[in-house]
Amino acid sequence: MKYLYYPGCSLEGTALEYDRSTRALFQALGIELIEIEGWTCCGASAAEAESDLLSYALPARNLAIAESMDDSVKDILVPCSACYLNLRRAAEETRKNPDLLKRVNQAMEPEGLKLQNAKRVRHLLDVLVSDIGAEGLSDHIHSAMDQYRVAPYYGCQCLRPYAVFDDPEDPTSMDPLILATGASVHKWHMAAKCCGASLMNIQPEIAQEMVAAILSGAQGADAIVTVCPMCQMNLEGYQNQISRSAHQDLHRPILYLPQFLGLAMGVTPRELSIEMNLSRVSAFI
């Protein structure tokens, strides 16, 4: 099995460990990831706040490059939920709206790129759940994680607005993956509630309250697992300030899902770059 791979900007910087653990996990699964050559930013939450056309053209550029690569590989795997939504939105909306497709292609003309919508955009979690699944995973499980209780955190943009692989209101797709490692699932109501996203930078007090509610909901869990670099950063980057403002200890280990699954598969903490996480993850090293 092979996938085209779009890491996105965060995975080269603040979420380096998400990139490394994703690559390590797929290597252990025997699946090849082929990085899109010369990929560029998807526009994040910035392009849509400045220019409508740019918010389609920036992701479309990456889709068009992907189309010029290996014909036999149809799916683009995206670990970042914000990148995933931008790429998916560009694909879905240009498919529905020929006029938009024409304008996007005009924008890419000087670079000689053209979008034909020949590839599918898939979130990392979608691939893990739908293509590999608990059964595919269980063959590779080496170290039982049965001492851990794990809170699955989905955030928003891998679920909404495009409901592709899970219930966008009450997601459960991570449960079988976590159970396959031997760990138990922490049942909670915050799994699909927003972490504040880019509000953390512009209105930090507000976003930190949003994160405080999520961390409170995870009391009793040994770790929260995430599938988005923005969620990860918001949940783990401010735990000192949040605990101080809430007058209670809200510190909680936050792991990327590939890190947790990787550990269960016997991949070393070093290969999964767990020491790069910002939360207190020493129990997992």
Partner 1 sequence: MKTAKRATPHESSDALLAPIREELRACIQCGTCTASCRNAHLMDFTPRRLWRLVLTGNTEEVFHSRTFALCSACYYCTLRCPRGLPLTEAMHALKRAAAHADIAEYRPSARFYGSFLDSVRRHGRVNEMEFMRRYFILMKNPAIPIKFTPLGIKLLRKGKISVFPDKSKPEHPLDQIFRRVEELEKTK
The site that binds partner 1 (CB under 8 A) totals a number of residues, namely: 59
Output 109 or 146, the one with its CB closest to partner 1. 109
* Residue 179 near partner 1 by CB under 8 A: no
Output 167 or 249, the one with its CB closest to partner 1. 167
* Residue 157 near partner 1 by CB under 8 A: yes
Instruction: Answer yes or no: are the C-beta atoms of 221 and 181 closer than 8 Å.
Output: no
* Residue 90 near partner 1 by CB under 8 A: no
> What is the DSSP secondary structure assignment for residue 127, as one 8-state letter?
I
Q: How far is the CB of 181 from partner 1 (least distance, A)?
A: 26
* Residue 204 near partner 1 by CB under 8 A: yes
The one among 133, 136, 168, 269 contacting partner 1 by CB under 8 A = 168
Residue 54, phi then psi, degrees to nearest 5: -60, -35
Query: How distant, in Å, are the alpha carbons of 26, 62, 78 from that of 128?
Result: 10, 22, 12
Q: Which alpha helices (H) appear in 41-193, and where do they start and end?
A: 52-67, 81-96, 98-108, 124-126, 133-138, 174-180
Q: How far is the CB of 235 from partner 1 (least distance, A)?
A: 13
Query: How distant, in Å, are the alpha carbons of 100, 176, 209, 229 from that of 179?
Result: 43, 5, 30, 23
Angle, CA 7 vertex, CA 151 and CA 235 arms, to 5°? 30
Six-digit token pair at 25? Answer: 């996990």
Output 145 or 156, the one with its CB closest to partner 1. 156
Name residues contacting partner 1, limited to 10-29 (CB under 8 A): 12-16
* Residue 161 near partner 1 by CB under 8 A: yes
Q: Which of 123, 125, 132, 113 is nearest to 58 (CA)?
A: 113
* Residue 229 near partner 1 by CB under 8 A: no
- Catalog residues that contact partner 1 under the rule CB under 8 A: 9, 12-16, 38-41, 43-55, 57-58, 61, 103, 106-111, 156-157, 160-161, 163, 168-169, 193-194, 196-199, 201-204, 206-207, 210, 237-238, 240-241, 276, 278
